[in-house]
Structure 1
Amino acid sequence: MADSQLLKPAILVISDTASQDPSTDKAGNVLTETFKTDGGDRWATPAIKIVPDNVLDIQRQIQQWTDGEEYFNLVLTTGGTGFAVKDVTPEAVSPLIHRHAPGLVHGMLASSLEVTPFAIMSRPVAGVRKNTLILTLPGSPKGAKENLQAVIKLLPHACIQAAGANSRSIHAGGVSKLEREAGISTSSPDTTTPSEKEQHHRHHHHHGHDHSHSHSCGHGHGHGHIVPKPHTSPSERPQSNDPNAGPTRRYRESPYPMLSVDEALRLIYEHSPEPTIIEVPIDTSIVGSVVAEDVCAAEAVPAYRASIVDGYAVIASAHTAHGKGDTKGKFPVASVSHAQATSMPPPLEHRTIARITTGAPLPENANAVVMVEDTALISTTSDGTEEAVVEILTDDIKPGENVREPGSDVSLGSKILQTGDFITPVGGEIGLLASTGTKTITVFKKPRVGVLSTGDELVEHNNPAPLQGGQIRDSNRPSLISCLQSWGFPTVDLGIARDTPANQLEFALRDALRGSASKPAVDIIITTGGVSMGELDLLKPTIERNLGGTIHFGRVSMKPGKPTTFATIPFKPPISSSTQGVVGNDAQEERETRLIFSLPGNPASALVTLNLFVLPSLHKSMGLAIRAALSDNNNNNNNNNNPVSSPASLGLPLVTAVLTHAIPLDPKRTEYHRATVSASSGTGALLATSTGLGGKGAGVGQRSSRVGSLAGANALLVLPPGKGVVERGAWVQALLMGNVVGE
């Protein structure tokens, strides 16, 4: 048979030991030899890979072999099918299978049971993923060989059909023809007539594909191909949110209670982690950080007696009884003191002066500075390049005049910043730290945020190709990332995760938390899309079922943003090189909590809920709750050194504004209406105008999918549920997303 006609097998060896030392694997070679000796001329040389006993590693390799255009016809796994704690192969393979094939499982088990009763302790899985047949074999070379030999003659027929061959033409010669081609002899001579053979063929063809046959004892024979069909009402069965179950098992009604915005914010605050303290160097990266510990000046400012004007350093004495000093007159210029000098000028002698620039150190013995405006040049040096004699025109100069004493700005060891202070972008705090010689500072760590879009319909916003079919440009990711970066948080672009296959979403979330060489690990994940009730809205079931997470709320009584979801998932960080191998290090076993905010896919909903729900959590994680608590304590003259974090002052600032037009109210849900808040040039009052008005109607264009309502919006008007409208001129509360603009 030509190589192009050979079926392509692949062998996945699953073993922690073999993954570290491939020379210990024997099963791969045994199975390869079995294909040569027992497979006839139907098989190419198998591809072999070794992975550890890890669900994700197993799934990733199988998907590489099955999901591409150059797929393998058969994938065999060997190892991990027993009852040991590390045996996870069935759990890894089962979710990948689209159509199960229990008949092959029965055949392998029946053959093994003829050899040893312990065969019943194996947990094999078989089935088809896309165009590839998958079988799981035992880890022992002998057991793997026996299982493969039990079914190898039937596998070409299964693989050809799985690859999409015409079933009618394959079965045209009847079962006997298929048995002869496979090299299988029946247990009794073939004495049936042609018509009986055709009836026999029709029975087996029906049984092998529709599988409606069942035993009289009531146990369904099944064979894995029957489509799940509900026979009970929703009230009679538990609902499933298994991402692999498909639309027939999806929720028909959300199981998550509808929470108020305040309840949702309380849960977010409760489960957002307390801030982490880190030590960082003094540079522009600390802008937007909150100081975690008091900072004391490492150096005095200035560090020496310095001039605060351009002029001449002099030795001034106290004024006489007549109110006059002794500085007036003509004096030789003995030296020059520049601000950039790396060494101190020489001591000043009596009846001499030193030219000095602003900020330069005073020579020893000098105690005052005369402004250059109060002097006159008398003579220069012979070469004309320097001043020789200068006349001081006043005798009103007092000791200490125009001199900045050491530590007069900042004294050595004095507190320059305290816990809870905010490093503003204006530059004052960084300038103070730099001027006092501060090299590092402890701040509350800003969480790193990853942004992931989900959906098969999405394409990159900058994809040059024209849209096709139901494609949509992904506007959420660049919008949310730009907003997060404007707040000063480090961000990671996690790209787009497809809805199908379902486990791609799981892989994307796990990879985001673990990080990679190209993308750092994130502390918080923000996703958009996949949180509604569609059959491909897989965020919530993936979080609960695949990641072991807890969904704290899945619906909020608000408009827009009703399906907003907040969850926490357990996460075990990788062991760092500094702790790896240390006996008794408890940190190696500790699990941390990571947050996931699953926002709706509609652009307006995503941006509104980012501002409303994600920002307060970020503020708590970066220490702003502690800052707010300290501020409250100071205002109340409370000397408590251990303030309790509170949700006060977190999230967007709240102001009151006057409506410039009427806006209708939603009868059931609080609406967060996109608007522009401006300051009146006449009265200074804040004015609120909707960004979604159209035509003559008020409030038109504020649908959650309406991208245009985002442009120009710098506020969210908080409109409680009710009947009728909020009239023009009414006062409304507004959450400011940006700076107030001019009228």
Structure 2
Amino acid sequence: MRRESPYPMVPIDEAQRIITAHVTPLGVEEMDVLRNAADGRVLAEDIYATDPLPDVPKAAVDGYALRSADGVAPRRVIAEVTAGAAPGLRVEPGTAVRVMTGAPVPEGADAVVMVEHTEERDGALTVRRALSAGDNIHTVGQDIAAGQCVLTRGTTLGAAEIGLLATVGRVRVQVYRRPIVAVLATGDEVYEPDGEVFPGGVRDSNRYALMAAVREAGCEAVSLGIARDDLSVQRAAILDAVDRADVLLTSGGVSMGTRDLIKPLLAELGTVHFGRIAFKPGKPTTFATIDRPGRAAPLLVFGLPGFPVSSLVSFEVFVRPALRRLQGDARPERPRVRVTLRDPIYPSADRPEYQRAIVGWAEGRLVARSTGRQGSSRLLSMLGANAMLVVPPGTQPFPAGAELEALLTGPLAPFDE
């Protein structure tokens, strides 16, 4: 007798909508972003500058501060000012002050002439070209105005952002908490990679690949090990995640076999919001929530397929954006671009497919080449891939030269022109 799944097949965009509806940014914490590893953290507040930058007019070049109205007439050099020196000098008609880049411009001066355009001998300065007021001077607030918003809530902190926080004197800032993501492998046939593997067994690549993907997405990864195909064992592992994590990722056990126990357990412990997606590879991908007494947010559970490619592709399309949203990321999605195919691409007849590809700049446009056979068990198809081609279903191949949409998952690859 043919067994049917009790879960209707939902479209990709509907699955993404359902997930997003259940994702709320986690709590906020304050941290010292200059003395702790804040890279990748997401701001939970807007940052404003309290002072202008520069706070006083400053020399943009090494040279001489002077009055532009004096033209090219000789001047007397009365002093030298270096960067960091306190202001206090005044430039009168017929005088100039030697200044270094970044030094305060003395009162009375309204321009700075580059040292290359001058000659100084025995304290007398000759200027070879006339200047206009404001030449080679960084004015007050030119870079940042007092009260200006320099970083907005939802910004991911990188080198430039941390440098900007230091510039405006904000050492301690509010950031969103990093999600704790538990990862569980399931199956009697699954073994630790460095252990003995019996005939028919497989090494557990999914858990370690997913944990790496979780860390790359900015989260803390927790391994729950391997749970054998036993209801009590897998139930205990899921309940462990309820206590310890914000998100649970499982791999395997979500198809239609007699030992696929994850979906029944999730239905018992929580609510399954969908159990199948019209999507390849990864049709049995499942999303559920489990309420936790005394906790504001439920545990988010993603039941991912057992095949390694299906697991990672499903993570990219459905899990990663949710993890970024939990961190308050204002732009949680990977960028999408149009690419020109270098190789023919063969679609699935019945479902949209995310095929692995390498995208680079060639011949004045973005070009994609396939990573080869796209089987869901062939992890080599992920190796070197920096994109996933979004291939609509159909019966005819997309020829070389055709265009498709691609989800960029990494930096553009170097291509030979």
Shorter chain as denominator, the TM-score bin is: 0.7 to 0.9
Structure 1 residue 593 and structure 2 residue 336: aligned? no
Q: Is the 8 A contact 1:340 1:360 kept in 2?
A: yes
Match of 1:688?
368
- How far 1:483 sits from its partner (Å)? 2.9
- How far 1:567 sits from its partner (Å)? 0.6
Match of 1:402 among 129, 136, 158: 136
Match of 1:329 among 68, 72, 75: 75
Change beyond 3 A, Cα 1:401–1:725? closer
Q: Is the 8 A contact 1:497 1:504 kept in 2?
A: no
- How far 1:400 sits from its partner (Å)? 4.5
2:298 is paired with a residue whose SS is strand
Whole-Å Cα distance in 2 between the matches of residues 493 and 453 of structure 1? 12
Q: Is the 8 A contact 2:187 2:227 kept in 1?
A: yes
Whole-Å Cα distance in 2 between the matches of residues 556 and 368 of structure 1? 67
The 5 A counterparts of 1:440-451 are 440-451=172-183
Match of 1:552?
273
Match of 1:607?
312
Match of 2:359?
677
The 5 A counterparts of 1:263-302 are 263-274=14-25, 276-283=27-34, 285-288=37-40, 291-302=43-54
Change beyond 3 A, Cα 1:457–1:377? same
1:511 is paired with a residue whose SS is helix
Match of 1:509 among 223, 238, 251: 238
Structure 1 residue 260 and structure 2 residue 11: aligned? yes
Whole-Å Cα distance in 2 between the matches of residues 370 and 663 of structure 1? 62
2:212 is paired with a residue whose SS is helix
Q: Is the 8 A contact 2:277 2:284 kept in 1?
A: yes
Q: Is the 8 A contact 2:18 2:273 kept in 1?
A: yes
- How far 1:393 sits from its partner (Å)? 3.5
Match of 1:369 among 100, 106, 112: 112
Match of 1:347 among 89, 96, 104: 89
Change beyond 3 A, Cα 1:479–1:680? same
Question: Which runs of 5 or more structure 2 residues have no equivalent in the other structure?
Answer: none
User: Structure 2: which amino acid aligns with 1:691?
Assistant: T
Q: Which has the higher helix share?
A: 1
Whole-Å Cα distance in 2 between the matches of residues 395 and 671 of structure 1? 66
- How far 1:345 sits from its partner (Å)? 5.2
1:721 is paired with a residue whose SS is coil
Structure 1 residue 616 and structure 2 residue 368: aligned? no
Change beyond 3 A, Cα 1:474–1:310? same
Note the alpha carbon deviations across 1:48-87, whole angstroms, 9 max, x for none. Answer: xxxxxxxxxxxxxxxxxxxxxxxxxxxxxxxxxxxxxxxx
Q: Is the 8 A contact 1:375 1:390 kept in 2?
A: no
Match of 2:223 among 459, 469, 494: 494
Match of 2:259?
536
Note the alpha carbon deviations across 1:150-202, whole angstroms, 9 max, x for none. Answer: xxxxxxxxxxxxxxxxxxxxxxxxxxxxxxxxxxxxxxxxxxxxxxxxxxxxx
- How far 1:460 sits from its partner (Å)? 3.2
- How far 1:498 sits from its partner (Å)? 2.1
2:263 is paired with a residue whose SS is helix
Count how many residue pairs are aligned between Structure 1 and Structure 2: 413
Q: Is the 8 A contact 1:452 1:526 kept in 2?
A: yes
1:571 is paired with a residue whose SS is coil
The 5 A counterparts of 1:115-154 are none
Whole-Å Cα distance in 2 between the matches of residues 253 and 605 of structure 1? 21
Whole-Å Cα distance in 2 between the matches of residues 390 and 536 of structure 1? 93
Whole-Å Cα distance in 2 between the matches of residues 600 and 567 of structure 1? 14
Structure 1 residue 571 and structure 2 residue 317: aligned? no
Whole-Å Cα distance in 2 between the matches of residues 399 and 623 of structure 1? 46
Match of 1:31?
none
Match of 2:377?
705
- How far 1:608 sits from its partner (Å)? 0.9
Whole-Å Cα distance in 1 between the matches of residues 234 and 115 of structure 2? 73
Q: Is the 8 A contact 1:599 1:606 kept in 2?
A: yes
Structure 1 runs of 4+ with >6 Å offset: none
Q: Is the 8 A contact 1:330 1:392 kept in 2?
A: no
2:348 is paired with a residue whose SS is coil
Change beyond 3 A, Cα 1:294–1:679? same
Whole-Å Cα distance in 1 between the matches of residues 91 and 353 of structure 2? 79
Change beyond 3 A, Cα 1:273–1:424? closer
Task: Give the aligned CA root-mean-square deviation in angstroms.
Answer: 3.3
Match of 1:393?
127
Q: Is the 8 A contact 2:76 2:96 kept in 1?
A: no
TM-score normalised by L of structure 2: 0.84
Note the alpha carbon deviations across 1:389-418, whole angstroms, 9 max, x for none. Answer: 343435845554433232222121122234
Change beyond 3 A, Cα 1:413–1:734? closer
Match of 1:668 among 336, 350, 371: 350
Q: Is the 8 A contact 2:182 2:224 kept in 1?
A: no
User: Structure 2: which amino acid aligns with 1:559?
Assistant: K
Q: Is the 8 A contact 2:229 2:261 kept in 1?
A: no
2:367 is paired with a residue whose SS is strand
- How far 1:288 sits from its partner (Å)? 4.5
Note the alpha carbon deviations across 1:463-486, whole angstroms, 9 max, x for none. Answer: 2x5533333222122322333333
Q: Between the two structures, name the one with larger relative contact order (CA 8 Å, sep ≥ 6).
A: 2
1:716 is paired with a residue whose SS is strand
- How far 1:443 sits from its partner (Å)? 4.7
Whole-Å Cα distance in 2 between the matches of residues 665 and 715 of structure 1? 16
TM-score normalised by L of structure 1: 0.50
The 5 A counterparts of 1:462-481 are 463=194, 465=195, 467-481=197-211
Whole-Å Cα distance in 2 between the matches of residues 670 and 398 of structure 1? 63
- How far 1:273 sits from its partner (Å)? 2.3
User: Structure 1: which amino acid aligns with 2:322?
Assistant: S
Whole-Å Cα distance in 2 between the matches of residues 677 and 439 of structure 1? 39
User: Structure 2: which amino acid aligns with 1:455?
Assistant: G
Change beyond 3 A, Cα 1:390–1:514? farther
Q: Is the 8 A contact 2:219 2:323 kept in 1?
A: no
Whole-Å Cα distance in 2 between the matches of residues 256 and 362 of structure 1? 73
- How far 1:285 sits from its partner (Å)? 4.8
User: Structure 2: which amino acid aligns with 1:651?
Assistant: E
1:482 is paired with a residue whose SS is helix
1:735 is paired with a residue whose SS is strand
Whole-Å Cα distance in 1 between the matches of residues 270 and 32 of structure 2? 36
Match of 1:562 among 272, 283, 305: 283
Change beyond 3 A, Cα 1:412–1:678? closer
The 5 A counterparts of 1:187-202 are none
Match of 2:411?
739
User: Structure 2: which amino acid aligns with 1:438?
Assistant: R
Match of 1:525?
248
Whole-Å Cα distance in 1 between the matches of residues 65 and 203 of structure 2? 70
Match of 1:309 among 30, 50, 61: 61
Question: Which runs of 5 or more structure 1 residues have no equivalent in the other structure?
Answer: 1-233, 235-250, 380-388, 516-521, 573-588, 629-649, 693-700
